[in-house]
Structure 1
Amino acid sequence: MRVLHAVTLHTPDNAFGGPTQVAVNLSKGLRSRGVDARIATLGDGYDGPLPRDIEGVPAWLHQARHVLPRFEVSGITSPALLARARRLVKGADVVHVHLMRDLITLPFALIAQQAGVPVVLQTHGMIDTTEKQVARIVDMLGLKRALRKADGVLYLTEVERDDIQAVIPDTPLPGAHRLVNGVPPQDRRPQRTDGPPTVVFMARVQERKRPEEFIRAIPLVRKEHPDARFILAGPDTGALAGPMMELARELGVGDAVSYVGSVARDEVTDFLRTADVYVLPATYEPFPVSVLESMSVGVPVVVTRFCGQAPDIAEYGAGVVTESDPDRSVDNTALVADGILRLLEPAANERASQAAWQLVQDRFTIDAVVQDLIGVYERVAGQPA
């Protein structure tokens, strides 16, 4: 079976984050099972020629053109890639589109449907109802049609399914199927017995991820662990890394935190193994891969109840789920700090580490996710993979 994954953007520092990494992880898993999976996407931020593969997955990358800069990633496209799109989709048995309201994935979905190729849409929590006028126009011009004509719609949580359904309330979601994110299984990191405690935030540094709460929690944690180290990691897509480091200095903890920028994909698990606790106090995260990657090596996590894995984390005891308020009507900093402090207690950290690792082994390995996805492909294509 030939499968084409269409996703918006790939950059050297993985600035677009989750959707691209999910497409890559799925494609790698599919190829290991004999499925000819390839990727079509935009490339940006490269000094030289665009690569012909992403982590070993054959890929068609075309240079991103920022035609509507005010819309950031939603406003980039490539006339050359779109001109090639019909030929690419007709060479596939299934087109898997990582859909958002943009100028690449939505056209790919519509072109594939017009060509009569089975289309599976995966929205990664990026499609819901909105009052934004431009988004509503996009919905009328093509998004609703793409959803209605899809052969399968993949969602991460029931909340996401309801959000997608609300966009086309008059039509049941076609072939709706829950597909979680998965990561390769890893060895659990050994219990840390020496060195200062290390707490990591690894995600795009932008407002929605709430790096400020991570920084503001540091003085509270340092009262009990004065030698604790804090690492802020990830692409600075919100231009907040500088202000966050300045905030740390204002709080008197500038010496305790460092910003290391993006972590190379092949170094992520080794980087996470150095941590005692991973923190992501984001307002809404459908199913963050970084949380799975942390737990896959046995690093317990502090997340909010708005994280897609929060129920699983709470069930297994794989970390701390806070009741953070998305409207900021209460101070969430103390909740984040309390979660970190609870997980820095050695016995609690070891229990949560084992639970985090076991949770990924039981529910979120890429092998199990790929096997589930192959069943979806076989259903929509009417042929075995």
Structure 2
Amino acid sequence: MKILHVVTLHTPDHAFGGPTRVALNLSKVQRAAGDDARIMALGDGFEGPLPRQVEGVPAHLFRARHLLPAFEVSGITSGALLLAARRMMRGADIVHVHLMRDLVTLPAAMLALASGTPLVLQTHGMVDPTENRVARLTDLLGVRRVLRGADAVLHLTETERLDVNAVVAPVPLTRTVRLVNGVRPQQIKPAREPGWPPTVLFLARIQERKRPEDFVAAMPAVLAEHPDARFVLAGPDTGALPATLELARRLGVMGSLDLVGPLGHEEVLAAGRRADVYVLPSIEEPLGVSVLEAMSVGTPVVITRTCGLGPDVARAGAGRVIDSRVGEDGKNAHKVAAAVLDLLEPEANSKAGKAAWNLVNEDFTIDAVTAALRRTYEDVVRRRAHGLTSSSPHGT
């Protein structure tokens, strides 16, 4: 099967995060199974020629043109990409678009509809009801059309399914399929030696929505009980790093904070193995791949209830799930600190770490996710072969 994954952006530091990581993870397993899976995206931040492969996956990358700088990622595009997409879609069995309100994935989805190529959309929690006028206009001009015309629309959580249906209201979609994110199984890390200085890890894009300042603000309470603890702040800066570091300076904890910047995929796993606790106090996180990667090596996690993995982590005992509502001080630091301190207790850490590893291996392996996606692809192709167009209901 020839599968074309279309994502918005790929950068050397993986600053765009989730959708590109998901497309790469899916493509690698699909190619190992014999499919011709490849990705198409804008490339930005590269010195010299754009790479033709990313992690062994053929990549059709095109220089990003910053057409509307005020809209950041949503305002970049490439005419050459869209021309190439139109050509490549004619030979594809499935076009899998990782959709957001932008000038890459939305026009690519519209091209797939125009070409008659079977279209699968995955929104990654990025298409939801909004009061933003530009976003609402985008919905009117194209988003609703592609959602209604797609052969299948994938959602991570029930909340995401309801959000997408709210965008296309009043007529709900009937072609929705739940597909969680998945990661490759890993060996569980060995138990820590007694007396080993604890390490607490934040690994994600450093942006306001992911609340890196809550991570830093929790440091004094943890250091009061574990003065030798190290706090690792990893990931590309997408706007929140200066304020986060300024807070660390005001709190006097810079000496315990390690700023390591963006990490490659294997470095991400290595950082998870070195950590005793992974923390992501994000306001919203549909189904964070970074959380799954931490758990895949046996590291317990601290996440909020607005994270799509919250119910799974709580059920399995794979970490601590805290309230995402902030206190009177406008921060969530005391909840983060309490959860981290709880998980730094050796017995609690060992129990939660094993539960985290089991949870990933039972419910969130990339092989199981890709197998489920393959069934969706085959259903789409079968329905097309029988003359059932995307306007015909085929279950949820």
TM-score range, shorter chain: over 0.9
Q: Which residue of 2 aligns with 1:209?
A: 210
Q: Which residue of 1 aligns with 2:161?
A: 161
User: Partner letter of residue 54 of structure 1?
Assistant: V
User: Is 1:42 aligned with 2:14?
Assistant: no
Q: Which residue of 1 aligns with 2:139?
A: 139
Structure 1 runs (4+) greater than 3 angstroms displaced:
326-331
Equivalences for 1:237-276 in 2 at 5 Å? 237-238=238-239, 240-276=240-276
Q: Distance in 2 between matches of 1:334 and 1:68?
A: 40
Q: Which residue of 1 aligns with 2:52?
A: 52
Q: Which residue of 2 aligns with 1:332?
A: 332
Q: Which residue of 1 aligns with 2:389?
A: none
Q: Which residue of 1 aligns with 2:112?
A: 112
Deviation at 1:383, TM superposition (A): 8.6
Q: Distance in 1 between matches of 2:2 and 2:82?
A: 20
Deviation at 1:50, TM superposition (A): 0.3
User: Partner letter of residue 168 of structure 2?
Assistant: I
Contact 1:3 1:93 in 2 (8 A): yes
Contact 1:10 1:16 in 2 (8 A): yes
Q: Which residue of 2 aligns with 1:307?
A: 307
User: Partner letter of residue 236 of structure 2?
Assistant: P
* TM-score normalized with structure 1 length: 0.97
Deviation at 1:254, TM superposition (A): 1.3
Q: Which residue of 1 aligns with 2:237?
A: 236
User: Partner letter of residue 150 of structure 1?
Assistant: A
Deviation at 1:242, TM superposition (A): 3.0
Moved more, 241-250 or 64-73: 241-250
Q: Distance in 2 between matches of 1:58 and 1:352?
A: 38
3-state secondary structure, aligned to 2:130 = coil
Deviation digits for residues 130-188 of structure 1 (CA, Å, limit 9, x no counterpart): 11111111111111100110100000000000000001113231420000000000001
Deviation at 1:85, TM superposition (A): 1.6
Identify if the C-alpha distance between structure 1 residues 383 and 139 changes in structure 2 by more than 3 Å, giving closer, same or farther: closer
User: Partner letter of residue 23 of structure 2?
Assistant: A
Deviation at 1:245, TM superposition (A): 2.1
User: Is 1:192 aligned with 2:192?
Assistant: yes
Deviation at 1:315, TM superposition (A): 0.5
Moved more, 317-326 or 203-212: 317-326
User: Partner letter of residue 203 of structure 1?
Assistant: A
Q: Distance in 1 between matches of 2:328 and 2:213?
A: 12
3-state secondary structure, aligned to 2:124 = coil
Q: Distance in 2 between matches of 1:248 and 1:62?
A: 39
Q: Which residue of 2 aligns with 1:92?
A: 92
Q: Which residue of 1 aligns with 2:4?
A: 4
User: Is 1:23 aligned with 2:23?
Assistant: yes
Contact 1:153 1:177 in 2 (8 A): yes
When the two chains are superposed, the root-mean-square deviation of aligned CA atoms in Å is: 1.4
User: Partner letter of residue 69 of structure 1?
Assistant: P
3-state secondary structure, aligned to 1:182 = coil
Identify if the C-alpha distance between structure 1 residues 355 and 25 changes in structure 2 by more than 3 Å, giving closer, same or farther: same
Q: Distance in 1 between matches of 2:214 and 2:135?
A: 30
Deviation digits for residues 236-256 of structure 1 (CA, Å, limit 9, x no counterpart): 011x22332232121121111
Residue ranges of structure 2 left out of the alignment (5+ in a row): 385-396
Deviation at 1:329, TM superposition (A): 7.3
Q: Distance in 2 between matches of 1:130 and 1:242?
A: 28
Q: Distance in 2 between matches of 1:326 and 1:143?
A: 33
How many residue pairs are counted as aligned between the two chains? 383
User: Partner letter of residue 382 of structure 1?
Assistant: R
Deviation at 1:222, TM superposition (A): 0.7
User: Partner letter of residue 269 of structure 1?
Assistant: L
Deviation at 1:59, TM superposition (A): 1.2
Contact 2:326 2:332 in 1 (8 A): no
Equivalences for 1:288-367 in 2 at 5 Å? 288-325=288-325, 331-367=331-367
Q: Distance in 1 between matches of 2:155 and 2:185?
A: 22
Moved more, 77-86 or 367-376: 77-86
Residue ranges of structure 1 left out of the alignment (5+ in a row): none
3-state secondary structure, aligned to 2:290 = helix
Identify if the C-alpha distance between structure 1 residues 52 and 174 changes in structure 2 by more than 3 Å, giving closer, same or farther: farther
Identify if the C-alpha distance between structure 1 residues 13 and 97 changes in structure 2 by more than 3 Å, giving closer, same or farther: same
User: Partner letter of residue 197 of structure 1?
Assistant: P
Q: Which residue of 2 aligns with 1:175?
A: 175
Identity score, percent: 59
Contact 2:74 2:101 in 1 (8 A): yes
Deviation at 1:32, TM superposition (A): 1.1
User: Partner letter of residue 21 of structure 1?
Assistant: R
Q: Which residue of 1 aligns with 2:71?
A: 71
User: Partner letter of residue 338 of structure 1?
Assistant: A
User: Partner letter of residue 142 of structure 2?
Assistant: G
Contact 1:127 1:164 in 2 (8 A): yes
Deviation at 1:331, TM superposition (A): 4.1
3-state secondary structure, aligned to 1:223 = helix
Q: Distance in 1 between matches of 2:365 and 2:121?
A: 21
Q: Distance in 1 between matches of 2:86 and 2:47?
A: 29
Identify if the C-alpha distance between structure 1 residues 106 and 326 changes in structure 2 by more than 3 Å, giving closer, same or farther: farther
User: Partner letter of residue 298 of structure 2?
Assistant: G
Contact 2:40 2:60 in 1 (8 A): yes
3-state secondary structure, aligned to 1:250 = helix
* TM-score normalized with structure 2 length: 0.95
Deviation at 1:328, TM superposition (A): 6.9
Deviation at 1:326, TM superposition (A): 6.0
Deviation at 1:382, TM superposition (A): 1.6
Q: Distance in 2 between matches of 1:3 and 1:281?
A: 35
